[in-house]
Amino acid sequence: MAENEIRSRRKVRVGVVVSDSRDKTITVEVPNLTAHPRYDKVVRRSTKFHVHDETNHAQVGDTVEIMETRPVSKQKRWRLVEIVERAR
């Protein structure tokens, strides 16, 4: 199996940085819309991921793309791919 095939199977998410206070780590909130199981109303939920940011470039409010990766620490299973949009 080629390396590109393996990388293409990794999950990719886009979210907003809500914390950058730790060294080389950011917290990213990823929103998701789901239908309520009984009422079928669309409910807005979100998940927070701890993301490895090697260069400490991401700041609070930035929209970023993250990718699933091998465990970097106890909680970090994602890494920063790119900063999609800077905070204003």
Averaged over successive runs of 10 residues, the pLDDT of the chain (88 residues) comes to 73 97 97 96 97 96 97 97 95
CATH of the domain at 30: 2.40.50.140
Tell me, yes or no, if the pTM score tops 0.85: yes
Structure-block tokens of residue 71: 């465990």
* pLDDT at res. 88: 86
* pLDDT at res. 47: 97
Whole-number Cα distances in Å, 57 to 17, 43, 82, 84: 11, 32, 10, 12
For the chain, the domain total comes to 1
- Owning domain of residue 80: 3-85
